[in-house]
Structure 1
Amino acid sequence: MKNEIKMRLKNRLKDDGLHETGIKGVRLFKVSESIQCAPAVYEPTVIAILSGSKEAILDGQKHIYDNEKYMCCTMSLPVEAGTPNASPEDPLLGVSITLDSKMMTELALEMENISGAIKKTKASELPKGLSFASWDNAFSDALWRLLQLEDNSVDSAMLGEGRLRELYYAVLKGEAGESVRRSFGVGNEIARSIEYLSHRLDQSVTIDELASKVGMSRAVFHRKFKQATSLSPIQFMKSMRLNNAAMNIATGMNVNQAAMSVGYVSSSQFSREFKRLYGQSPKQWISSQGHLYQSY
């Protein structure tokens, strides 16, 4: 089934970039040029690679994934992402599926309510927000059935939600399922705090405020947050703000506007922290990225 999906993408994708399928939250992509890792923000998404490989760096740890494992991101995360091995002879081909929080929560809670459906996790064991899972038959079949809908807009409208639910269920049952269930089902406090923060990057949000929102002490919140994201809450907030600003600069926003868009009142402070994180000033960084900047 994986080969059929690969051939479908090869025939469908003639140009580089993201391509809509007509199915909500499902996009295809092709990259034929080597792109070094650059600041990005992964939203809750499943990425399935059919050809080539992608890289994602979270807190200094490099993750490479290809057609052997799909990537599952269950919460907004500041990463560096790229496709350094892509070439015209061996382009990156893949599928991006946004995880709908309402549907995922319903499915996760249903699974948790079914006795014996899942292995219970100890409270101290909090899976990370970025995980990888081997392709299994259930995932391949569900992805193939989902992509077949893009040929017919009526089929997409009538069956899209059901086929997405089928794919989500395959993910929940797969190797990344535990991480996904903990992010969308019972015990999803860290994911909820990240969602709260992600909508307030231009505001002053304190660690105490985030901990209070999910009913935890500051110490417990700090420990569980780092377990889930590999970053402390303060590191996470700074990385999210700077990565979002970098993405805004890459799309043409000037440095001052980008700084203000993520809550910085001093452009000089923004430039200092940007250089500390990325090793270059904002202007130097965007010059080095050129036209190869990749935001997905």
Structure 2
Amino acid sequence: MSKDQIRQLIQNNATQEGLTGTGIDGVRLFRATQAIPCVPAVYEPSVIAIVSGAKEAVLDGHRYIYDDSRYMCCPMSMPVKAGTPTASAESPLYGVIISLDKRVMTELSMEMENTGNVIPEVKGGLRAQGIRLAAWDDAFADALLRLLQLGGNPADTAILGEARLRELYYAILKGEAGSFARQAFGAGNAIARSIAHVSSHLDAPISIDDMASRAGMSRAAFHRKFKQVTTMAPIQFVKSMRLNNAAMKIAGGMSVNEAAVDVGYVSPSQFSREFRRMYGQSPRQWGDAQQFPVEMGQ
């Protein structure tokens, strides 16, 4: 069975704690042998597939637990709390993170539309969903296996890597989370484009009016649609993105002041106040308390 072969490949190659490269751009294996509580993180556009154990993510109070029966699809940058609360040396967590390339995913979404594969009408659209879980199906498992089998051969990876990654993307778009992902990567999704802009410009001033203007909507319409897609109001989303990114930077060793400036805060006191309000401790206390691999928050 493909999933058993995938599990063996990951276990054979992810021999150290945390993330391990595969030689394929955007594809990383991971292993965790200690329980990591849910901590602030940012899920970038990606799919995370677990082959042993379970991961947990919390988005605006909604809890998602995924294991070897369901993979996680996050087509837009999302501020979450994430961890591996059940991992242990006796029961390690193994999995793979596949970054979703916006250009390729958009091309595939549009090609599917052009061939008559129209996105089914879903009541409420992307309402109350920033991430979605999808059942492993044969197409996803087969495509993932074919992709990971390239990792041991640099020539195969260089020649076939992009094609097999594209095959996996196509399996995702055809799978249970496919309609959700296609809505996010479709040419008309102004909210996804707005989120991408916010994610790459956290160090710059961001106003709701500017976000609405970029999306081609009135402020009221943008606010309503944005909350449907992400579960959060725009200003709450921006604040969560900034503070979660700052928390990850501090956990990774960056100074509190550097992290604050890096995510767009001008006032250190405002940063400390808002950080404490969200996480219940000062940025310095947060940094001192971290003892887990920061990359495993992904």
**Structure 1 and Structure 2 fold alike (TM over 0.5):** yes
- Report how many aligned residue pairs link the two structures: 295
Secondary structure of the structure 2 residue equivalent to 1:290: coil
Q: Is the 8 A contact 2:113 2:119 kept in 1?
A: no
| Distance in 2 of aligned mates of 1:120 and 1:212 | 28
What's the CA shift for 1:147?
Answer: 0.5
Structural RMSD (CA): 1.4
C-alpha spacing 1:194/1:34, structure 2 compared with 1 (3 Å): same
User: Once the two structures are superposed, what CA deviation does each residue of 1:82-104 show, in whole Å capped at 9, x if it has no partner?
Assistant: 00100001111001101011110
- Superposed, 1:86-97 pairs within 5 Å as 86-97=87-98
| Distance in 1 of aligned mates of 2:234 and 2:206 | 11
| Distance in 2 of aligned mates of 1:27 and 1:99 | 12
Counterpart of 1:83 in structure 2 is 84
Counterpart of 1:109 in structure 2 is 110
Q: Is the 8 A contact 1:129 1:179 kept in 2?
A: no
Counterpart of 2:230 in structure 1 is 229
- Superposed, 1:126-275 pairs within 5 Å as 126=126, 128-275=129-276
Which amino acid letter does the alignment assign opposite residue 66 of structure 1?
D
Secondary structure of the structure 2 residue equivalent to 1:30: strand
Counterpart of 1:121 in structure 2 is 121
Q: Which consecutive aligned stretches of 4+ in structure 1 deviate over 3 angstroms post-superposition?
A: 291-295
Secondary structure of the structure 2 residue equivalent to 1:88: coil
Counterpart of 2:20 in structure 1 is 19
What's the CA shift for 1:214?
Answer: 1.4
Q: Is the 8 A contact 2:227 2:233 kept in 1?
A: yes
Secondary structure of the structure 2 residue equivalent to 1:252: coil
Q: Is the 8 A contact 2:57 2:83 kept in 1?
A: yes
| Distance in 1 of aligned mates of 2:123 and 2:73 | 21
| Distance in 2 of aligned mates of 1:10 and 1:101 | 29
Which amino acid letter does the alignment assign opposite residue 264 of structure 2?
G
Q: Is the 8 A contact 2:38 2:81 kept in 1?
A: yes
| Distance in 2 of aligned mates of 1:291 and 1:169 | 34
| Distance in 2 of aligned mates of 1:205 and 1:285 | 26
| Distance in 2 of aligned mates of 1:122 and 1:207 | 27
Secondary structure of the structure 1 residue equivalent to 2:30: strand
What's the CA shift for 1:72?
Answer: 0.5
User: Once the two structures are superposed, what CA deviation does each residue of 1:251-291 show, in whole Å capped at 9, x if it has no partner?
Assistant: 11111111111111111111110011011111222222224
What's the CA shift for 1:229?
Answer: 0.9
Structure 1 gap segments, 5+ residues each: none
C-alpha spacing 1:111/1:209, structure 2 compared with 1 (3 Å): same
C-alpha spacing 1:275/1:153, structure 2 compared with 1 (3 Å): same
What's the CA shift for 1:113?
Answer: 1.4
| Distance in 2 of aligned mates of 1:109 and 1:84 | 39
